[in-house]
């Protein structure tokens, strides 16, 4: 059950990210109280969280001011989710997919070298589970296996910087499914490539893992390139 300040954040954050509250707009506590029917304490907590995400800045003389997009914490989980819910969904998905292309192939190559025995077994299990649930068209189960697969890959790389981006990949995967940008039945080629990555990691074949993950990421980038700014496939 969300707290009151979480409920306010779930409404106020998207107003900023969508541009309804433009950069430079003032968000004082009195306005938050009246707009959302909450106490001053709840309003203050919500604004403090927004400030921690760098969506707003709070200064003694100027009050609380909405910041431009280039000031936001772009890696914050909530900011990513609000952007994917907003009018520029397609553009943001493309950017996130490009980020994945930069980090996941080298992470797969490192995982093939650095993973422990448990991680090697588990990545194969997850690849098989993705094949089974994907072939059956069970998108809910497929999504959870897909998230676990990519998280484990980043963890097995042994690079803490890659591991720190696992939540970004998760939000991309959840966003694509939530906004119905996934096919009803995940593509057979994509499922096959995940199995290739898993088997390459298990077999310590670093460059095979890199190549297969590159193919997965490139296909996602191409798919996202066909989206309009609002996340709807371009004609």
User: Residue 3 has what pLDDT?
Assistant: 86
At residue 185 the predicted structure's pLDDT band, cuts being 50, 70 and 90, is: confident
What homologous superfamily does CATH list for 87-225? GntR ligand-binding domain-like (1.20.120.530)
Taking residues 87-95, report their average pLDDT.
90
Give the C-alpha separation, 55 to 188, whole Å.
40
Domain boundaries, the chain: 4-71, 87-225
Taking residues 165-183, report their average pLDDT.
91
| Angle, in degrees to the nearest 10, between helices 89-114 and 188-202 | 30
Indicate if 87-225 has the same CATH topology as 4-71: no
Q: Which pair of structure tokens corresponds to residue 179?
A: 């906004």
Let me know if domain 4-71 sits in CATH 3.40.50.150. no
The answer to pTM > 0.95 is: no
Q: How does pLDDT run across 42-51, given as a tens digit for each residue?
A: 999 999 999 9
Q: How does pLDDT run across 111-163, given as a tens digit for each residue?
A: 999 999 999 999 999 999 999 999 999 999 999 999 999 999 999 999 999 99
Q: Tell me how crowded residue 134 is: count the other CB atoms within 10 A of its CB.
A: 24
Nearest to 216 by CA among 192, 200, 185, 199: 192
Q: How does pLDDT run across 48-77, given as a tens digit for each residue?
A: 999 999 999 988 877 899 999 999 999 999
- CA 50 → CA 1, 27, 40, 47, 205, distances in Å? 20, 11, 15, 5, 44
Give the C-alpha separation, 124 to 119, whole Å.
9
């Amino acid at each position: 059950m969300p707290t009151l300040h979480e409920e306010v954040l779930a409404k106020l954050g998207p107003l900023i990210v969508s541009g309804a509250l433009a950069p430079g707009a003032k968000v004082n506590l009195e306005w938050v109280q009246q707009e959302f029917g909450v106490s001053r304490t709840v309003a203050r907590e919500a604004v403090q969280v927004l400030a921690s995400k760098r969506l707003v800045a709070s200064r003694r003389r100027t009050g609380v001011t909405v910041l431009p997009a280039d000031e936001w914490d772009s890696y914050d989980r909530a900011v990513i989710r609000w952007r994917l819910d907003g009018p520029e969904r397609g553009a943001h998905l493309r950017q996130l997919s490009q980020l994945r292309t930069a980090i996941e192939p080298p992470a797969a190559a490192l995982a093939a070298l650095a993973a422990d025995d448990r991680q090697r077994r588990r990545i194969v299990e997850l690849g098989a589970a993705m094949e089974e649930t994907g072939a059956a068209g069970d998108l809910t189960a497929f999504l959870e296996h897909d998230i676990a697969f990519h998280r484990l890959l980043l963890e097995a790389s042994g690079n803490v910087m890659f591991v720190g981006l696992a939540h970004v990949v998760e939000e991309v995967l959840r966003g694509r499914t939530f906004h119905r940008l996934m096919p009803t039945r995940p593509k057979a080629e994509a499922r096959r490539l995940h199995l290739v990555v898993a088997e390459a990691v298990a077999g310590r074949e670093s460059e095979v893992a890199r190549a297969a993950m590159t193919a997965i990421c490139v296909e996602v980038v191409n798919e996202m390139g066909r989206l309009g700014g609002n996340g709807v496939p371009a004609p």
